[in-house]
Amino acid sequence: MNRKKKPLWPVWLVGCMVLIVGTLGIHLIVQDARAGNSSDVETVEVSPSAYPGLNIETRTKNTKHYISTISSPLADSKEINTPIQAWINEQEKNFLAEVEAGSKTIHSGQRAELNLTVETNKINDHLYSLVFTSYQIAYGANGQTMIKTFNIDTAENRILTLADIMVSDKTAVNHIQSIVKKELKKQEEVIPYILEEELQKSMKNPSEWKWSIDNEVFTLYFNEYEIAAGAAGTIQVNIPLKSLHSYLNKELFSKWNISYVVEDEPEEKKPIQLPLDPKGKYVALTFDDGPNPKVTPRVLKTLEKYDAKATFFMLGVQVEYYPNLAKKVAEAGHEIGSHSKSHPNLANMSLYEVRKQLTDASKQIEAATGAKPTLFRPPYGAMNDAVKKVTTEQKTPIILWSVDSLDWKSRNAQAVNKVVMRDVRPGSIILMHDIHRSTADALPQMLKSLKKQGYQFVTVSQLLSLNKSKGNGPYYHQ
């Protein structure tokens, strides 16, 4: 043996065991362990698999000092097996070290125990969530249960990371944390033990989360003592996939044939700014002068149907009259910009007047939607230095447009579509108004045609982020 450190007997034992298993094959019964014989025995059983691409091996050891049973699932690839086996070996090694340390003081008949089991959740024919529970009790001490999860794809021979299935930026983490808190409140038996601060700490690092998914829920697991006092044990929180829909990797879920119903969720639903593909074909639809009680709801409906996100440049006075409608637009995940309070020609206004127009509009929008507007579009596209100064102060870039649908002039759905389809380019900002019925009439055909040409619909901020635009504009785009 060529080891750097002094060989400990447990290590030797594991090595020996691996050798025996390797040499004698998979079905080896030296002696019936259940007979309670205290001499060193070893049982190896292999169960036939009900899970395509996955087998399981349950190893039982029964010695004078301890008993251990380890269930260890095996895929056909080492990319999957190696990390899982490494974790299992680590558990066993730690256990054996405890046993070694305690064996000198142990009373006869009192044996340590390691029980490592796995719950296999089949998502489809190649996706599995493996949830390991390791229970160990060494001499005298209390038993301890630990959880570990591996989510595997046996078709692609890899272990999935959280980043594969969802965005886990700060907004997402906050959102998930608030759901976890809400769900925990439903678990009466654990409520008294929850340690708020520990929970926060534990959720801070998504790459360390212990999670699994199935067709309906995303589940988070917490070890004993991780987020609650010991009496609560291990904790499991199920989060319905539909409440995470804005963070999930939709492409992957549809590839996996996992669908989930999106429900109305009145709570905070901010637009999620997924990074765009620099070579992608994007267009930003913008709607000015609303919200309008007759037209805006129709616009929202069409956008939803095409899973399109747009930007609404709202007027303060309209928001003041229809705050619920403004809120609905924000909740649907669209971006809200300001279009001033009352649509004056700002180019003719003093710094004081411009500031009042923009500040009032901003307050009205915030009061209704809960967030300040992120962008500003001057009425008529008219600007002066005061407009530039105030928008810089308020950190709302000036957004103009590259395609004017002329909906305000034609008031005709067909004419609107004709202009848009003629002038649109990748990266266009399209100007429309959600106050004309003809614009709402034009929208279904417009989205259908643009989608057919490969366009994706994004917010203005997303479009700007693509070009890493800095400063306050004005921005017209392509």
Task: Report, in Å, the least distance between residue 194 CB and Zn ion.
Answer: 50
Task: Report, in Å, the least distance between residue 339 CB and Zn ion.
Answer: 6
Task: Report, in Å, the least distance between residue 289 CB and Zn ion.
Answer: 4
Among residues 98, 100, 226, 289, the one that binds Zn ion under rule CB under 5 A: 289
Sort 116 into a burial class: Cβ within 10 Å, 0-12 / 13-18 / 19+.
buried
Task: Report, in Å, the least distance between residue 342 CB and Zn ion.
Answer: 11
Pick the closer one to Zn ion by CB: 95 or 287.
287
Pick the closer one to Zn ion by CB: 135 or 408.
408
d(CA 224, CA 333): 38
Pick the closer one to Zn ion by CB: 289 or 335.
289
Task: Report, in Å, the least distance between residue 288 CB and Zn ion.
Answer: 4
Name every residue whose Cβ is closer than 8 Å to that of residue 76 and which is 6 or more positions away in sequence: 53, 154, 157
Subset of 324-383 contacting Zn ion (CB under 5 A): 379
Contact map string, positions 245 to 284, toward Zn ion, x by CB under 5 A: ----------------------------------------
Pick the closer one to Zn ion by CB: 206 or 344.
344
d(CA 386, CA 361): 16
d(CA 40, CA 409): 91
Closest to 251 in 3D by CA, of 373, 133, 151, 167: 167
β-partners of residue 133 are 117, 147
State the sign of the Cα–Cα–Cα–Cα dihedral 367, 368, 370, 373: negative
Longest Cα–Cα distance of the chain, Å, equals 97
β-partners of residue 399 are 475
Q: Which two tokens stand for residue 246?
A: 């804005």
121: how many CB neighbours lie within 10 A of its CB? 17
Pick the closer one to Zn ion by CB: 289 or 434.
289
Task: Report, in Å, the least distance between residue 433 CB and Zn ion.
Answer: 7
Task: Report, in Å, the least distance between residue 464 CB and Zn ion.
Answer: 20
d(CA 185, CA 343): 47
Task: Report, in Å, the least distance between residue 318 CB and Zn ion.
Answer: 11
Indicate the residue whose CB is closest to Zn ion: 288
Burial pattern 450-473, b for ≥16 Cβ within 10 A else e, equals beeeebbbbbbbbbbebeeeeebb
Task: Report, in Å, the least distance between residue 328 CB and Zn ion.
Answer: 20
DSSP code string of 354-381? HHHHHHHHHHHHHHHHSS--S-B--GGG
Strand 158-159 relative to strand 282-288: parallel, antiparallel, unpaired?
unpaired
Closest to 63 in 3D by CA, of 6, 16, 23: 16
Q: Is 224 in the site for Zn ion (CB under 5 A)?
A: no
Is-catalytic flag, 288?
yes
Q: Of all helices (H) and strands (E), which one includes residue 448?
A: helix 437-452
Pick the closer one to Zn ion by CB: 233 or 381.
381
Catalytic entry in 126, 153, 175, 288: 288
Is-catalytic flag, 32?
no
How many CA within 13 A on the CB side of residue 242?
Answer: 8
Catalytic entry in 175, 339, 343, 433: 433
Amino acid identity, position 211:
W
Pick the closer one to Zn ion by CB: 73 or 379.
379
Pick the closer one to Zn ion by CB: 379 or 473.
379
d(CA 318, CA 306): 26
Pick the closer one to Zn ion by CB: 53 or 397.
397
Among residues 288, 331, 335, 434, the one that binds Zn ion under rule CB under 5 A: 288
d(CA 262, CA 256): 17
Q: How many residues bind Zn ion (CB under 5 A)?
A: 3
- Contact set with Zn ion (CB under 5 A): 288-289, 379
- Residues known to be catalytic: 288, 433
